[in-house]
Chain A
Amino acid sequence: MTLDILAYAAFFLSMALTYAIICLGLNVQWGMTGLFNVGIAAFVAVGAYTSALLTTPPSPDRFGGFELPIFVGWLGAAVTSGLLSWAVGALTIRLRSDYLAIATFGIAVTVQLCMLNLQPLTGGPFGIGFIPRPFAELQDNALAFSLANFAVMAIVVIALYLALEHLAKSPWGRVLRAIREDEMAAQALGKRPIRFRLQAFTLGGAIMGLAGAAQAHFIGFIAPDNYMPILTFQVWAMLIVGGSGNNRGAIAGAILVWGLWALSAAAVSTFVPAEQQARAASLQIVAIGVGLCLMLLWRPRGLFGEVSPLTRLKSLRSAPSKAPSKE
């Protein structure tokens, strides 16, 4: 019994960590750079499908199945999603700030259509199965299998976290923050905002693709239903709750919101009669939407939000300057 619970906990945490990876990618785009992406589901889906095509065994009724190692699939996923984000960014980042949002929304709709209709490539509404899972040889032992997968996810998240923290402190990260806080000043120092924004958007998209691949291999099966707009909403809720601009916040937010989501879904399925479950599930989504708005209204920096460097500087300056002014 306790072993079962442990195996389930490992499964639950692994799932939460795949969301944490998406969240880290979104944090590069939104938290570090201030770019609004409403098409998260599309970038995750492209990653998942790329990796699935590269690693599944050949299949007669659709293109691909190259049986490459899982590692290659993950890499391919990051590259494809990165390229897609680069294309979207190159087109819209130089325009008004919300054109990027509208374009990413369009990408989400279009990728959804492609998943459903490009049957020879994506398997259509039934998706792709038999995606190789890491440590498949341990599958008989549920506990060992879950723990091994959890370890992989944890290593990926920690590695990404360390890399992103390093990046944020690097000159590149400082330029990004400078652009976000005061574009004119950054431009005056000879930095080109458009180029840096585009790089950040591409990097974020690549991380989302990686997350999609990780999730696909963890579950072993993908279908268009997994990449509905609700995924985008969930990830946004995670980042806003955790605190944008803060990588630790992004990870904590992912685990917290995924936990709340799983708990409320379990509550709906136990306490609500079967014929009313679809309605109750829609209330769950209302709660996410209202929660998102309330967070924006009351605590825009989230639970662990980053303190803006300018505010920090101001409070540092004002603290010592107040003391002498009293004399």
Chain B
Amino acid sequence: MNPQFIMDGLIAGAIIGLGAVGVTLTYSILRFSNFAHGELLSWGAYLALAVAGALGFLSAGLTKPIAPFSFGWALPISAVIAIGLTGLLALAVDALLFSSFRRRGSAIIIMVMASFGASLALRSLLEFLFTSKPAYFTKALQIAMKLGGGLRATPDQLLMLGVALVAVVTVHLLMTRTDIGRAMRAVSENPALASIAGIDVRRVIRTVWFLGAALACVAGIMSGLLIQIRPYLGHDLLLPLFAAAILGGIGSVPGAMLAGLIIGLCEALAVQAVGAEWRAAVSFVILIAVLLVRPRGLFGKAS
């Protein structure tokens, strides 16, 4: 068997892991599974694409590739702007939709359903704005470097793995070492008690949305840079995201990232062993196995 599947799996897993951290955070603090989370990945990628296009229009020098990578300075700059814009988008959806359900104390399942409707609207809006034709950040081709042990990777891929690692470590430190992180964990334990203790629950909710959307945007840009950008990019990743969040244990940031990598590796393995056409079924099999054997996941607390 070709060991290259390890590299492919790590890259796919990093994308899934970043998305799953967002899913697990919104799930543990807002208490519903957000079916619109995948759309944040797609919107992040398209927003970055649009900003990068505008920057390239302003100054052609920005699109000139930086040494070993396939993209110019336009992409990192637009990524930062897109992260902010995706965060604002998530806050806007919350203000328009989910906040009124929270105010009314609606059943969880109503919020799930609303997120389902929102995902449909957001995805089709992308299809309307950008058409369903795949788009790319860069047209440049990259030669994969030999890493030893039969592994190959392009500089872009290695950079993205590094970015994913930095992002997850940052979020983990944020959750465990800062005041807002402690407040987030308190709200996820018990919102009523947390607000009595003087925690601003609404601020925590805004932070969760922004953080989840920012990570989704990074994952979307990664997927867009390494594969391609499509309106269905996020929708096709939604099942792996849920599977990773549940496998890692709802609420656990390192768990979600680890589970994302496991799912990515299993997918890559399945592509080699069974065939690429069954790739999407892997996360379903893992999901069913987790629900059967250990519904609280690897690092989850028993309910």
Assembly CA distance A100 to B211 (angstroms): 26
Assembly CA distance A292 to B128 (angstroms): 19
Tell me if A59 is interfacial: C-beta within 8 Å of chain B.
Answer: no
Shortest beta-carbon distance from B151 to chain A in Å? 29
- Count residues of chain A with CB under 8 A from any CB of chain B: 39
Contact A279 B112 (CB under 8 A): no
Which of chain B's residues have a CB closer than 8 A to the CB of A148?
none
Which of chain B's residues have a CB closer than 8 A to the CB of A91?
288, 291-292
Tell me if A99 is interfacial: C-beta within 8 Å of chain B.
Answer: yes
Which of chain B's residues have a CB closer than 8 A to the CB of A279?
127-128, 131
Assembly CA distance A107 to B295 (angstroms): 18
Contact A38 B109 (CB under 8 A): no
Query: CB within 8 Å of A: which of B93-118?
Result: 97, 100-101, 106-110, 112-114, 116-118
Residue of B108, B110, B116 most packed against chain A (CB within 10 A): B116
Shortest beta-carbon distance from B274 to chain A in Å? 10
Tell me if B77 is interfacial: C-beta within 8 Å of chain A.
Answer: no
Main secondary structure of the interface of A (DSSP, over half): helix
Tell me if A155 is interfacial: C-beta within 8 Å of chain B.
Answer: no
Which of chain A's residues have a CB closer than 8 A to the CB of B165?
none
Contact A98 B32 (CB under 8 A): yes
Closest A residue by C-beta to B279: A113
Tell me if B277 is interfacial: C-beta within 8 Å of chain A.
Answer: yes
Tell me if B239 is interfacial: C-beta within 8 Å of chain A.
Answer: yes
Known: A293-B114, A296-B114. A113 touches B278 (CB 8 A): yes
Tell me if A97 is interfacial: C-beta within 8 Å of chain B.
Answer: yes
Contact A290 B121 (CB under 8 A): yes
Tell me if B54 is interfacial: C-beta within 8 Å of chain A.
Answer: no
Shortest beta-carbon distance from A104 to chain B in Å? 11
Which residue of B33, B125, B243 is within 8 Å of A98 (Cβ)? B33
Contact B33 A101 (CB under 8 A): yes
Tell me if B303 is interfacial: C-beta within 8 Å of chain A.
Answer: yes
Main secondary structure of the interface of B (DSSP, over half): helix
Contact A96 B303 (CB under 8 A): yes
The A/B interface has a contact count, at CB < 8 Å, of 124
Closest B residue by C-beta to A284: B124
Which of chain B's residues have a CB closer than 8 A to the CB of A38?
35, 116
Assembly CA distance A249 to B246 (angstroms): 36
Assembly CA distance A236 to B243 (angstroms): 24
Known: A98-B112, A105-B238, A296-B113. A110 touches B281 (CB 8 A): yes
Which residue of A101, A106, A233, A282 is within 8 Å of B112 (Cβ)? A101
Tell me if B157 is interfacial: C-beta within 8 Å of chain A.
Answer: no
Closest A residue by C-beta to B130: A279
Assembly CA distance A214 to B118 (angstroms): 31
Query: CB within 8 Å of A: which of B33-53?
Result: 33, 35
Tell me if A6 is interfacial: C-beta within 8 Å of chain B.
Answer: no
Contact B287 A36 (CB under 8 A): no
Contact A293 B118 (CB under 8 A): yes
Which of chain B's residues have a CB closer than 8 A to the CB of A97?
108-109
Shortest beta-carbon distance from B120 to chain A in Å? 3
Which of chain A's residues have a CB closer than 8 A to the CB of B291?
91-92, 95, 99, 103
Known: A91-B291, A290-B121, A296-B113. A105 touches B97 (CB 8 A): no
- Bitwise, A289-313 to B at CB < 8 A (1) or not (0) is 1111100110010000000000000
Tell me if A263 is interfacial: C-beta within 8 Å of chain B.
Answer: no
Query: CB within 8 Å of A: which of B126-178?
Result: 127-128, 131-132
Shortest beta-carbon distance from A260 to chain B in Å? 16
Contact B116 A109 (CB under 8 A): no
Contact B131 A233 (CB under 8 A): no
Known: A97-B109, A113-B281, A278-B132. A286 touches B288 (CB 8 A): no
- Bitwise, A168-208 to B at CB < 8 A (1) or not (0) is 00000000000000000000000000000000000000000
Which of chain B's residues have a CB closer than 8 A to the CB of A34?
107, 109
Q: Which positions in A face B, CB cutoff 8 Å?
A: 34, 36, 38, 91-92, 95-99, 101-103, 105-107, 109-110, 113, 116-117, 229, 233, 236, 278-279, 282-283, 285-286, 288-293, 296-297, 300
Could you give 17 example pairs across A and B, Cβ below 8 Å? A36-B112, A36-B113, A91-B292, A96-B303, A98-B33, A98-B109, A106-B284, A106-B288, A107-B284, A233-B117, A278-B127, A278-B132, A282-B124, A282-B127, A285-B127, A289-B120, A292-B113
Q: Which positions in B face A, CB cutoff 8 Å?
A: 32-33, 35, 97, 100-101, 106-110, 112-114, 116-122, 124-125, 127-128, 131-132, 235, 238-239, 242-243, 246, 277-278, 280-281, 283-284, 287-288, 291-292, 295, 303
